Amino acid sequence: MSLLQNRPPVGPLHRHISLRPDAQPLPDVAGMVQTLRPEEPLHCIRPAVISTHARAFTAAFNGDALYAVKCNPEPAVLRALWEGGIRHFDCASISEVTLVRRLFPGADIHFMHPVKSRRAIREAWIINGVRDFVLDSADELQKILEETGRDEAAAVAARPGLFVRLALPETGAAINLSKKFGADVETAAALLRAARPHAGRLGVAFHVGSQCTNPQAWGEAMALAGEVIRAAGVRVDVIDVGGGFPTAYPDIAPPPLGAFMAEIDAAFARLNLPGVKLWAEPGRALVAGGASVVVQVQLRKGGMLYINDGVYGALGDAGALGFRFPVRLLRHTPRLGAPDEMFGFFGPSCDSLDVMRGPFILPGDVAEGDWIEIGQLGAYGTCLRTGFNGFDRAALAEVSDGAMLQTAGYEPEDL
């Protein structure tokens, strides 16, 4: 089947990007599994779901949406986002920058990692036309100014966009992103003042943490950004409200997208900063529903299923973080389903930590040879694979199926 590609680990950032096969329509997951009977994990990308979610987000957000590439750099995913109207990309490494530039010569790429190598800054600025850089320290500001101001770099007729990343107090997100990066209010204000004379545009950026289900977190962060801007006493051009927008999991139904946008708009209005633009850096919310992985059961021991993918593959967040993902059984041989039961999974590696407790709800007669489709893996799932213990084989296909779970505000009928 020509629609199937091999999926090497860390592939997307380095492998040759093949052109999209124009064989239409795309197959569906159940049909593919029946035909291929895959004995290695099969990654199923749903381009239509990704485009729809991107369209919903860009329509609802009153500013520019930068897709956070780390969430899933697969070219098929990036193309679906572009199709859905995404033109801005938040990159954190020079490999991400180069990949996006190769795919989309006209994209706006923003380098939003607060600690960059000098070479990455230079290559982004000179070769890849990246104009915006984030920082949370005076040393990083100095580094950016030196590397974009060198002789060969000075030929660029622009001044860098400079964004100060603000640290936030705990917000109740599933994953905190302020323990490692971000300046406190006083430092951020000083950095804004120091950066202003050198900045083509100046911004304040924050991240409330990933999978944040509380809209108020954005309101509080926006108020803090306002405090920083007042303390700095300089003109700011952009407030970047970051990512963190949640997606649905079997035990989590987040408030609808509109609730987050209403909170952001209200908090922004309270700051009364005419002329300032809003940016956001969504990752998870745009792509989580856009990929699943079909795994095969290799052995059953009571309530535990030994499957051919695990925490060193696409299922990392189901391990220590305990994420529950939606599952559906695709049977090896047709038989009547037994009542549902709760199951845990063991991954293929020899490490006892390669366990996913779930629980995952499946028909009680699930057996060796059956396939399980695991959904909502488009974000921080299909891109986290490693080659550990030699279990690095997987295939990749684009499919026509809908998302396995709906997230309020992102489906066409909600728009």
Q: Give how far Cα 324 sits from Cα of 62, 193, 233, 247, 294, Å.
A: 32, 45, 46, 12, 15
Map tokens 């779930």 to a residue. 358
Q: Got the DSSP string for 152-182? A: HHHTSSS--EEEEEBP------SB--SSSS-
Contact (CB, 8 A) for 212 and 257: no
Longest Cα–Cα distance of the chain, Å, equals 72
Q: Does 68 bind ligand PLP (CB under 6 A)?
A: yes
Judged by CB, which is closer to ligand PLP: 244, or 313?
244
Judged by CB, which is closer to ligand PLP: 267, or 287?
287
Q: How far is the CB of 328 from ligand PLP (least distance, A)?
A: 25
The residue from 84, 219, 283, 290 that contacts ligand PLP (CB under 6 A) is 283
Judged by CB, which is closer to ligand PLP: 125, or 279?
279
CA 270 to chain CA centroid, nearest Å: 29
Interface pattern 284-323 for ligand PLP (x via CB under 6 A)? x---------------------------------------
Interface pattern 370-389 for ligand PLP (x via CB under 6 A)? ---------x----------
Rounded Cα–Cα distance for residues 64 and 302 (Å): 50
Interface pattern 103-142 for ligand PLP (x via CB under 6 A)? ---------x------------------------------
Number of residues in contact with ligand PLP, rule: CB under 6 A?
A: 17
CA 136 to chain CA centroid, nearest Å: 22
Rounded Cα–Cα distance for residues 122 and 149 (Å): 9
Contact (CB, 8 A) for 359 and 343: yes
Judged by CB, which is closer to ligand PLP: 66, or 229?
66
The residue from 244, 358, 363, 381 that contacts ligand PLP (CB under 6 A) is 244
Q: How far is the CB of 341 from ligand PLP (least distance, A)?
A: 32
Q: Does 254 bind ligand PLP (CB under 6 A)?
A: no
Task: Give the footprint of ligand PLP on residues 8-47 (CB under 6 A).
Answer: none
> Which tokens go with 406?
């709906």
Judged by CB, which is closer to ligand PLP: 33, or 205?
205
Map tokens 């230079």 to a residue. 122
Partnered with residue 397 across adjacent β-strands are 44
Rounded Cα–Cα distance for residues 6 and 114 (Å): 34
Taking the alpha carbons of 186, 191, 197, 200 in that order, is the dihedral positive or negative?
A: negative
Rounded Cα–Cα distance for residues 129 and 152 (Å): 14
In 3D space, the residue among 350, 352, 368, 357 whose CA is nearest the CA of residue 315 turns out to be: 357
The residue from 27, 75, 160, 243 that contacts ligand PLP (CB under 6 A) is 243
Task: Give the footprint of ligand PLP on residues 75-104 (CB under 6 A).
Answer: 90
- For ligand PLP, which stretch binds (CB under 6 A), given 67-75, 186-194, 267-275, 316-324? 67-75
- For ligand PLP, which stretch binds (CB under 6 A), given 63-71, 254-262, 292-300, 400-408? 63-71
> Which tokens go with 40?
């290695």
Rounded Cα–Cα distance for residues 373 and 265 (Å): 38
The residue from 245, 249, 360, 388 that contacts ligand PLP (CB under 6 A) is 245
Q: Does 242 bind ligand PLP (CB under 6 A)?
A: yes
- Provide the binding-site residues for ligand PLP, judged by CB under 6 A: 68, 70-71, 90, 112, 177, 207, 210, 242-245, 281-284, 379
